[in-house]
Amino acid sequence: MISTTISPKLTIPPLENGDQLTRAEFERRYSAMPHQKKAELIEGVVYMASPLRITNHGNPHARIMTWLGYYWSGTPGIELGDNATVRLDLDNEPQPDALLRIEVGGQSRISQDGYVEGAPELIVEIAASTVSIDVNQKLKVYRRNQVQEYLVWRVDDHEFDWFRLNAGEYIKLESDSNGIIYSQVFPGLWLDKAALLAGNLAQVLAVLQQGLASQSHQDFVQQLAQE
C-alpha cells in the first residue's frame, strides 16, 4: 500500500476500491494521488478505473468526443467536458466520460477551484467493464440530481441508450424512422445511432451537420446569446 507523506507524523491514506468516504475525504485522498487518473465517489463508495482498452473504451470514447466536440464548436454558450470531475452532492463525485453543460443559466456552475458543481444537462458514459455501475448506481444518482439527458454506450452489448428525464423518471428516447435520435435539451444535437455503433463517423457528423443547420438549433443559439 502506498501512502503520501505530508509530515513526519501524518500520512494521507491512498484511495482503495470500495472505500466508504465523505466527499471531502475522497477529494483529499484523490488530490494526494496524482498518478491516479480516474476515481469516482458513487453513493459514498469509491470506484477506481481499471486500465482501458482501445477497443472497448478508447475508440468509442473518441467517437463520442468528436461528435460532441463538433456540436460544441457550432453552439456558443455551452461547454463540453472530457472526464471532468463533477461535484453532484455530498455522497457523489463522478467523473463522467463526457458532459455537456449550459454555461449561463444552466443547472451547473464552475467552482472557484475549477470543478463542475451541480448537474450538467447531459452526461455520457462509455460502459464496458463498468456497465453494471453505469446502468444501476450511476443512473439512479444522475436521475436524483436532475441530469436531464443520460447517454450510455453499452459497448459489449453493441447498444446505445439515450435517457431523458421526465417527471422524475428516465424514459428511453428511440430513433425515428430514419434511425436518428434527437436531443430534447440541446436542439440540433442529432445522432445516427446505427452509424455510431458501426464506426461510420463521417455519417454521424453528416447527420449532426443537418441538426446544426436546423431552425431549432439557430433559435437555441440565439437564446443562449441572450442569457
Q: Does 5 fall in a domain?
A: no
In whole angstroms, give the CA distance from residue 108 to residue 118.
4
Quickly state the pLDDT bin for 227 (edges 50, 70, 90).
confident
Q: Does 156 fall in a domain?
A: yes
Quickly state the pLDDT bin for 133 (edges 50, 70, 90).
low
In whole angstroms, give the CA distance from residue 39 to residue 54.
19
Strand partners, 81: 99
Structurally, the chain folds into a number of domains equal to: 1
In whole angstroms, give the CA distance from residue 59 to residue 51.
14
Q: Does 206 fall in a domain?
A: yes
Cell of 169: 423518471
Q: Are 118 and 105 in contact (CB under 8 A)?
A: no
Cell of 83: 472526464
Q: Does 8 fall in a domain?
A: no
DSSP 3-state assignment of 142? helix
Q: Does 22 fall in a domain?
A: no
DSSP 3-state assignment of 66? helix
Q: Where are the beta strands (DSSP E) in 65-194?
A: 78-82, 86-87, 98-102, 109-110, 116-117, 122-127, 149-154, 159-166, 169-172, 180-182, 190-192
DSSP H or E run through 118: none
The CATH number of whichever domain residue 62 belongs to comes to: 3.90.1570.10
pLDDT digits over 8-37, tens only? 445 888 888 888 888 999 999 988 988 877
Q: Does 17 fall in a domain?
A: no
Query: How much is the pLDDT for 121?
Result: 98
Q: Does 37 fall in a domain?
A: no
Q: Does 26 fall in a domain?
A: no
Quickly state the pLDDT bin for 66 (edges 50, 70, 90).
very high
What is the value of pTM for the model shown? Answer: 0.87
Domain hosting residue 99, numbered range: 53-226
Query: How much is the pLDDT for 115?
Result: 96
In whole angstroms, give the CA distance from residue 20 to residue 78.
34
